[in-house]
Structure 1
Amino acid sequence: MSMTPRRAPGLVTRLFQLMVACTILAVVLGEFGFVQHALDSLAHFRAHLAAALVVLGLLAFARRFWATGLSAILGAALGFGTSLPVLLGDPRDDAFATAGAYTLLQMNLRYDTADKTEALKRIADTRPDVVTLQEVNTEWQALFANLSVAYPYQAYCGTENRDGVAILSRRPFSPDPATERCRKVEGLITRSVDFNGQFVGVSSLHLEWPWPRPQWVQIDRLPGVLAGLAQPSLLAGDFNATPWSAAVKAVAAAGGWRVVSGVGPSWMALQLPFLPAAKVGLPIDNLLVSPAVAVGEVRTLEATASDHLPVLMRFSLVRESDAPPVAVVGRPAVPAS
């Protein structure tokens, strides 16, 4: 009895299998971003690549390409396994105390946005204790000067260009210049903020895009810049890097911080307004905190005219001893325009 020879896979099938293999390879190589910066650039898309592998795996199973489908699902499991815990994890610390909670609002403003009203409204609506800002230029700085009643403590760095960073605070800054940082090249500004008698180093950071852009040049300089930073401390900013990447882990190591989980997706290109940043965007706005900062809640807010979503964090401080409260500027209504 003669057997019908098995047909060789067609061109479409081969291309499909090649697509699956390349996507799996991208996920695997992205796990080694600590070895080579180019590989870390792949890591930022890990969750999206994993989602694509789920779709490809289901298509493979539908066509009875069992080995291809299984490989795709295993690749997706690897990608999701190292991204979802920090992307969707519960940020709440057991040590968080609601009674002594403070709030921080993180926003990349986008330097060239024509509509600046929405960003001001987010500050007015949330009335945070501290605001960390990126892409602050002189036009933005002039607007924030109008908030000096509600936020009398303001610090700016590099606002003469499009990538300035800033900190607004209702609470006093330390007068000690040793606690201050203004590093334009690294995109960093730091102030020590008085939270009811306990000073906390607060930093706003804006990193460049990943390799081949000079993001790692900035990161490699941070350990020296952050030396002697007031403790406890926290850092918020636009990292242009995902929380599971080697880039964010390197920044966290430089400051003795941990990465706060649960921020979620926060960026989507303005050219794709039909794609919601909070659902399918890249999670590149990150929060880092030292052990004495207990996080209670993290969430993204309604979009402004920027391509980044605002991020709000509630936190408390783990005190070694209670300190007497200091005078704090109240929370008057913040004008939204």
Structure 2
Amino acid sequence: MQDSVVLKGLLALAALACGLALAAGFFGAEAHPFDSASHFRFQLALVLLVLALLALGLRAWGTLAVSLGFAALGLAFSLPWLLPREARPPAAGQPGYTLLQMNLLYDAPDKAEALRRIGEARPDIVTVQEVTYEWQDLFQNLSESYPFQAYCGLENERDGVAILSRRPFVGEALCQARNGRVTQLVDLNGRTLAVTSLHLDWPWPKHHWKQIDDMGVSLRREGGPSLLGGDFNAAPWSASVRAVADAGGWRIVRGIGPSWLTVRFSQIWPRWLGLPIDQLLVSPEVLVDQVETLARTSSDHLPVLLRFSLLPARPAPTQSVAEPATAAFEGLETRPGAGGA
């Protein structure tokens, strides 16, 4: 009898702790430590479901109610982001394009795996993170397929970012190495798409939010379609991802699902228990046709493939021919030589 009381008490404490951690994640915009808890919302909801089953077995009705209530809250605000989205054809009369988002893992033991995945998917554009000089040398071997390449921050040893493209670049790449960001204008059949590759640090207490605050309004591009692919180290429902989306005038793409798993983790547990920390953000002019994760490489991140199309262009206001192609971006550092084949 006494053992049962102790078990019920421990179960109640566990349910309350998980429930409070889950609830705190909804206040991440007000307190950054709370946002760090939000990234585990789905996992906390699953733990609470297990606790609910244990409470049912022990006839701990109060704990059962608390566990189910918090679990329902967590699932309601995480599952819609994780469930696969239905594929749709490109917009009528508009060509379709593809973008591959990959965190490479700077010291991946088999770098050929990532190159094979690019060759299999044959995307128009690739956004990559954790790029090193060694990775750059390997990508130079793809110059026939991807003659347009822009790099930023390689001197940081493991925090470099890059964009590879089959499509021509317009102007110079814009680089914010300290914030793990490179932006490049890409010509898609006469339409100019602003593409960004972004790598954010780990959440609080690391420098995650400082990067976001430093970028601020410089993320926004006025008057044209834009697309961001990156390793956010943050879940799509978090305040930090929302802050980046709001700053850039983007919407967050749903349906990517879990994308980060350590090698050991993937061998023990089902893939869907990973963390959804690789994100795609798109402007209103970009239509998402399909998004999916591809077979893993030697990285601890899964590649994410986006199929998209563009809304028909609106008539543009008259613009001086002397205005530089990169004038649409303000507050960024332009680094000579950042773009190149």
Q: When the two structures are superposed, what TM-score results if normalisation uses the length of structure 2?
A: 0.88
**Who is 2:83 aligned against?**
88
Find out whether 1:265 has 2:258 as its counterpart.
Answer: yes
Unaligned ranges ≥5, structure 2: 317-341
Does structure 2 retain, via aligned residues, the 8 Å contact 1:104–1:314? Answer: yes
**Who is 1:311 aligned against?**
304
Aligned residues: 315
When residues 146 and 97 of structure 1 are mapped into structure 2, their CA distance, relative to the original with a 3 A threshold, is farther
Find out whether 1:163 has 2:159 as its counterpart.
Answer: yes
**Who is 1:45 aligned against?**
40
Aligned to 1:10, the other structure's residue is in SS state: helix
Return the letter of the residue paired with 2:137: A
Return the letter of the residue paired with 1:303: R
Alignment of 1:1-337 (within 5 A): 10-88=5-83, 90=85, 96-97=91-92, 100-160=95-155, 161-175=157-171, 177=172, 180-228=173-221, 231-275=224-268, 278-320=271-313
Does structure 2 retain, via aligned residues, the 8 Å contact 1:156–1:167? Answer: yes
- State the shift of 1:230 in Å: 6.5
**Who is 1:333 aligned against?**
none
Partner Cα separation in structure 2 for residue 156 and residue 189 of structure 1: 7
Does structure 2 retain, via aligned residues, the 8 Å contact 1:257–1:290? Answer: yes
When residues 167 and 94 of structure 1 are mapped into structure 2, their CA distance, relative to the original with a 3 A threshold, is same
When residues 30 and 321 of structure 1 are mapped into structure 2, their CA distance, relative to the original with a 3 A threshold, is closer
When residues 306 and 83 of structure 1 are mapped into structure 2, their CA distance, relative to the original with a 3 A threshold, is same
Does structure 1 retain, via aligned residues, the 8 Å contact 2:286–2:310? Answer: yes
Partner Cα separation in structure 2 for residue 275 and residue 287 of structure 1: 28
Does structure 1 retain, via aligned residues, the 8 Å contact 2:220–2:249? Answer: no
Partner Cα separation in structure 1 for residue 39 and residue 54 of structure 2: 25
Q: What CA deviation, in whole Å up to 9, does each residue of 1:156-204 have, x standing for no partner?
A: 00112111000000000102x4xx3201111000000000000000000
Return the letter of the residue paired with 2:131: V
When residues 264 and 96 of structure 1 are mapped into structure 2, their CA distance, relative to the original with a 3 A threshold, is farther
Partner Cα separation in structure 2 for residue 52 and residue 260 of structure 1: 26
Return the letter of the residue paired with 2:144: V
Return the letter of the residue paired with 1:42: A
Does structure 2 retain, via aligned residues, the 8 Å contact 1:91–1:295? Answer: no
Partner Cα separation in structure 2 for residue 26 and residue 64 of structure 1: 24
- State the shift of 1:16 in Å: 1.3
- State the shift of 1:101 in Å: 0.7
When residues 243 and 151 of structure 1 are mapped into structure 2, their CA distance, relative to the original with a 3 A threshold, is same
- State the shift of 1:86 in Å: 1.5
Partner Cα separation in structure 2 for residue 293 and residue 266 of structure 1: 22
Aligned to 2:178, the other structure's residue is in SS state: coil
Partner Cα separation in structure 2 for residue 277 and residue 288 of structure 1: 27
Return the letter of the residue paired with 1:78: L
Does structure 1 retain, via aligned residues, the 8 Å contact 2:94–2:311? Answer: no
**Who is 2:330 aligned against?**
none
Unaligned ranges ≥5, structure 1: 1-5, 324-337
- State the shift of 1:136 in Å: 0.3
Q: When the two structures are superposed, what TM-score results if normalisation uses the length of structure 1?
A: 0.89
Partner Cα separation in structure 2 for residue 204 and residue 123 of structure 1: 16
After alignment, is 158-167 or 137-146 more displaced? Answer: 158-167
Partner Cα separation in structure 1 for residue 61 and residue 212 of structure 2: 43
Partner Cα separation in structure 1 for residue 234 and residue 91 of structure 2: 27
Does structure 2 retain, via aligned residues, the 8 Å contact 1:96–1:295? Answer: no
- State the shift of 1:270 in Å: 2.8
Aligned to 1:274, the other structure's residue is in SS state: helix
After alignment, is 267-276 or 59-68 more displaced? Answer: 267-276
When residues 60 and 201 of structure 1 are mapped into structure 2, their CA distance, relative to the original with a 3 A threshold, is same
**Who is 2:337 aligned against?**
none
Does structure 2 retain, via aligned residues, the 8 Å contact 1:157–1:164? Answer: yes
Q: What CA deviation, in whole Å up to 9, does each residue of 1:243-265 have, x standing for no partner?
A: 00001000000100000000000
